Amino acid sequence: MDAVVAISLIRMAAADLAMEPWQRPSDAYLVQLGLDALMADIEAPSLPLLAGLARGEYPQARELFDLVLEELGLLPLVSEDLAKARWSAAQWWAGQIVACQLDPVHGAKLIYEEAAAELDYPDALQPIVDLARALDLPNDQPPDQQHIRDRVTSAARDFLATEAHQNHSL
C-alpha cells in the first residue's frame, strides 16, 4: 500500500466516525490503519502509538486516531478530499482484485459500500456495483461464486484500464 492509499483510507475512516455507532469503524480497524500507514512511510508522532496498541488497549484507538488526523493535517474533512480518497481506494481495491491479493467478492463489496455508494454510484464503478448487488439478491439458487469472481476481476481490470486511459488523456 502506498501513502496516497493509506491517507485515503484514513480519510474515509475519519468520515465514517461521524456515522451511527454500529456503522463506525472498529477500534481494531483503526489500529490496522495505523499499521498500514506506518508501512507506507507516513509519519505522525501518534501513529506508532496507534499502530502499537495491544488488543486490551484498543479502547484508546479512537483518541489516538483523532490525534493522528490532527497531526497529518487531515482535519477538517473536506468533501472534495473525501471524494478523491474514495476514488483512490476504489482504484487500489480494484488493483488488489486484479493482482489476486483481494478476494473479488469481498473487493466488490468494499468498492460498492465504501466508494460507489458514497460517490453516488458513478458510471465507472457501475459494473462492479451490479455484481456486488447480485451477490446480495435473494434467489432460489445461490450464484456461481467462481463465475462471479471472474466477472468481478474482469470488471476491475476494465475499470483500471479506463481510469489509466482517462488519467493519461488529461
Residue range 111-142, pLDDT digits in tens: 999 999 999 999 999 999 999 998 876 665 66
Query: pLDDT tens, 49-98?
Result: 999 999 999 999 999 999 999 999 998 888 899 999 999 999 999 999 99
Ramachandran angles phi, psi of 111, nearest 5°? -60, -40
- Cα separation, 119 vs 83, whole angstroms: 7
* pLDDT for 153: 96
pTM to 2 decimal places: 0.81
21 compared with 91, residue with greater pLDDT: 91
DSSP H helix total and E strand total for the chain: 8, 0
What's residue 1's pLDDT? 80
Cα(153)–Cα(98) distance, integer angstroms: 6
Q: Over range 5-20, report the average pLDDT.
A: 88
